[in-house]
Amino acid sequence: MKLNIVFLGPPGSGKGTYASRIAPKFGIPHIAVGDIFRKAISEEIPMGIEAKKYYDEGKMVPNEISAGIIIERLSQKDCENGFILDSPYDSQQAEKIDEKIKINVVINLDISEEGVIQRLSTRRVCRKCGAIYNIRTVKPKVEGVCDKCGGELYQRKDDSPEAIRKRLGVYEERSGPLLEYYKERGVLINIDTKDPHLPPEVTVEKIMEELKKFQS
């Protein structure tokens, strides 16, 4: 069965970490919504040009445009056998996406506020390629240096506890209706990631077990 997968979870829940490990196991791409928008704007596709107008004015991009940009990316050839969408979007966009491309599995990473703060405060990001590490659980081979490209690792300013709490508040407000939408569709799977000491590989195995049920 073709798997069109969405990963949900607050900032710091590990969406990118887990998705990047699971996507190769199924031979499907891992796609981040933020990357989709940046590419659409930089390549000046029609909807990207429209989205940029709203960004430049500090306004929310209408759902028609946002969903359209995501649908266009998910319609490309590399997604014909499925994909993992690492997603921050809302329930209205989800409905519009489902009209064109059915999402059949949603993995929600369930983590506590303190767990998020602990993870993000120890997170490091590569300035060059954007790879994500954690000085506690996913360490680079050489301290401060990216394994993939040799770029410098740094800590983002918005990874302070105060900034993290604000981001979590925004996420909770936006994600509630989205989670309910996918729950009503019967495709939502909650994965407990509250244990801060659990190696990523263990969580990956838990997610894989659930995804394999949808393939059978």
Does 187 score more than 90 pLDDT? Answer: yes
- Residue 79 placed within a domain: yes
CATH (domain of 90): 3.40.50.300
Query: Which pLDDT band holds residue 88 (cuts at 50, 70, 90)?
Result: low
- pLDDT tens track for 115-148: 888 878 888 999 999 888 988 878 999 999 999 9
What is the model's pLDDT at position 101? 94
Please report whether residue 192 resides in a domain: yes
| 68 within domain boundaries | yes
In terms of residue numbers, what domain contains 55?
Answer: 3-111+174-215
83 part of a folded domain = yes
Tell me how many domains the chain contains. Answer: 1
Q: Tell me, yes or no, whether 31 lies in a domain.
A: yes
Q: Is residue 122 part of a domain?
A: no
pLDDT, mean of residues 166-193: 90
Q: How far, in Å, CA of 185 to CA of 166, rounded?
A: 30
